């Protein structure tokens, strides 16, 4: 394409032979084109107030992932900018209304869909992803989903962030809670790439303020940035935007501002059917799996991702469950096939049941966009979490076996053990608000069911299993030699209930460990009126 300066010289050189007229015509054409472009640009919509009589209300209040909870706020506010959020917050504060914020809607507890919520601020229309040359980082609005972010990052720059596998999850809460996914052993956590965050806060005199906080050492707002690297959502203000870039790059190149995405993922699924699995086999599988992860969490370990699905035993005509190992790796890694095969062999060593194994090579976008999170009719959920510094003991495995092989009382309970460590554990526990930086595995406990009449029995079964597995530490994974607390992105309000947490340690200490006091200081500075609160929120310091 001809450089504009060259075009200008040629036209000026042609003056006297129609060149001046040609230049005037060119300028006029460009001006007309610019005016036409401006006239066709879409205006930013005004904030939308949706009340109970509005046809949109039912959709907006029921779009939460966990169908056990449906809110009934006075209104839902669909917003499109930080200024609109500030206006809604100002109105709410002046009227004494309690607010909650929804991005993707994947909160497992009723932290948003709560009876006490008066106004839900819905930021799902704020979903821009672009490169910010001033900050040399990718700017992502907090209403974007992971799927939207993955697609834009990959198609425009060939890069990614090491976030979760569920494409419908919103960035707003996922990042604030730490952010973990299939590339985390290779690249670390999402928050390890967080450079800056924009937050609408409410100050001590009740006025709203939009603040940008960065990781720069000299930034007076740096602690607010730190609080959003694992401090959880709904604590300090409304996040409107994140900026991501590779740390240490000075400056990070615009062409590759983040880690390169794989071209393809090599994936293998290994299933051991419960129809033939004995307690001895079950115990050996969990021992083998734990031993491999304990030995392969260090910096030289293979960068594979593993999810070990320990599902409840069901053997019925037409419905037989299994214990399943899903494992993936960047297909371009040298010896990728052998790495996965060696891992599978180690987990299945001396188990009498021959597993079924499927193999796929999946292009990157298909891999990250293809995971279905729609629970269908089974949308009622109870979840728990735990970090493991060491594998479960034989006694814990025996307890788990007993709970997973008892009579089926409702939904199928499952414990999903994720591989952890490697790049994640290179950071110190205080570098970000995600304090768990020496674990070898992370467990997601869940049970899904359909019938509201079975709520109590399903919640009870997972509560009892969890409490008994951690009976030696007060019914919870108390940070210590073997455990390292819980993951705030899998929130569990049972942790604040002394009937289920008898450890004497608060839920916040289980989530944030020694970083909790620091988070409280951030709370005091940026949310001194406690506008942003829920059952598990960071509390103001005691006076």
d(CA 435, CA 429): 4
Closest CA to 409 of 475, 357, 465: 465
Identified catalytic residue from 150, 195, 387, 418: 418
Place of tokens 């590339």: 183
- Report whether 305 contacts 182 (CB < 8 A): yes
Question: Mind spelling out the 3-state secondary structure of 434-491?
Answer: CCCCCCCEEEEEEEEECCHHHHHHHHHHHHHHHHHHCHHHCCCCCCCCCECCCCCCCC
- Report whether 489 contacts 511 (CB < 8 A): no
Q: Does the active-site annotation cover 512?
A: no
Chain-centroid distance of CA 275 in Å reads 35
Neighbouring residues of 290: CB distance < 8 A, sequence distance ≥ 6: 388, 390, 391, 392, 441
Identified catalytic residue from 65, 401, 490, 516: 490
- Strand 119-122 to 75-78 pairing: parallel
- Report whether 115 contacts 124 (CB < 8 A): no
Other CB atoms within 10 Å distance of the CB of residue 316 = 8
Other CB atoms within 10 Å distance of the CB of residue 307 = 17
Q: How many helices and strands, by DSSP H and E, does the chain display?
A: 15, 18
Neighbouring residues of 102: CB distance < 8 A, sequence distance ≥ 6: 63, 64, 112, 120, 121, 122, 123, 124, 170
Q: Does the active-site annotation cover 490?
A: yes
Q: What 3-state DSSP class applies to 224?
A: helix
Cis before 251? omega within 30:
yes
Q: Give me the active site residues, please.
A: 418, 490
């Amino acid at each position: 394409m001809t450089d504009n300066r060259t075009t200008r010289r040629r036209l000026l050189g042609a003056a006297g032979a129609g060149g001046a007229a040609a230049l005037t015509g060119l300028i006029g054409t460009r001006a007309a084109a610019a005016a036409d472009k401006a006239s066709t640009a879409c205006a930013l919509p005004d904030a939308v107030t949706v009340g109970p009589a509005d046809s949109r209300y039912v959709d907006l209040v029921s779009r939460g992932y966990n169908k056990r909870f449906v809110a009934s706020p006075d209104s839902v506010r669909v917003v499109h900018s930080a200024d609109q959020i500030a206006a809604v917050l100002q109105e709410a504060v002046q009227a004494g209304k309690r607010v909650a914020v929804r991005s993707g809607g994947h909160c497992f507890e009723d932290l948003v869909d709560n009876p006490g919520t008066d106004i839900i601020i819905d930021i799902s229309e704020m979903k821009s992803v672009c490169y910010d040359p001033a900050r040399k980082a990718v700017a992502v609005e907090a209403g974007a989903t992971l799927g939207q972010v993955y697609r834009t990052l990959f198609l425009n720059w060939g890069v990614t962030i090491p976030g979760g596998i569920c494409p419908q999850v919103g960035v707003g809460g996922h990042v604030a809670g730490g952010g973990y996914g299939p590339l985390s052993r290779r690249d670390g956590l999402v928050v390890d790439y967080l450079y800056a965050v924009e937050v609408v806060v409410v100050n001590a005199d009740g006025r709203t303020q939009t603040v940008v906080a960065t990781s720069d050492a000299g930034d007076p707002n740096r602690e607010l940035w730190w609080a959003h690297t694992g401090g959880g959502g709904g604590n300090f203000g409304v996040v409107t935007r994140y900026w991501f870039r590779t740390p240490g790059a000075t400056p990070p190149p615009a062409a590759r501002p983040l880690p390169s995405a794989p071209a393809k993922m090599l994936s293998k699924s290994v299933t051991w059917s419960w129809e033939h699995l004995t307690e001895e086999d079950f115990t050996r599988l969990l021992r083998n799996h734990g031993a491999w992860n304990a030995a392969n969490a260090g910096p030289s370990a293979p960068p594979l991702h593993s999810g070990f699905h320990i599902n409840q035993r069901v053997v019925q005509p037409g419905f037989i469950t299994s214990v399943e190992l899903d494992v993936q790796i960047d297909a371009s890694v040298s010896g990728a096939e052998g790495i996965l095969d060696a891992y599978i062999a180690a987990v299945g060593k001396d188990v009498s049941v021959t597993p079924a194994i499927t193999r796929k090579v999946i292009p990157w976008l298909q891999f990250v966009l293809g995971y279905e999170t729609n629970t269908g009719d089974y949308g009622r959920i109870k979840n728990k979490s735990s970090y493991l510094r060491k594998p479960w003991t034989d006694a814990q495995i025996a307890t788990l076996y007993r709970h997973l092989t008892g009579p089926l009382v409702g939904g199928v309970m499952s414990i999903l053990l994720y591989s952890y460590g490697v790049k994640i554990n290179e950071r110190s526990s205080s570098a970000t608000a995600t304090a768990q930086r020496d674990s070898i595995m992370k467990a997601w406990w869940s049970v899904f069911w359909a019938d509201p009449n079975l709520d109590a029995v399903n919640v009870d079964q997972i509560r009892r299993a969890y409490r008994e597995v951690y009976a030696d530490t007060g019914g919870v994974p108390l940070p210590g030699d073997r455990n390292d607390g819980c993951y705030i992105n899998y929130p569990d309000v049972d942790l604040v209930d002394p009937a289920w947490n008898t450890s004497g340690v608060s839920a916040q200490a289980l989530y944030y460990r020694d970083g909790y006091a620091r988070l409280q200081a951030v709370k005091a500075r940026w949310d001194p009126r406690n506008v942003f609160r829920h059952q598990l929120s960071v509390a103001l310091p005691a006076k």
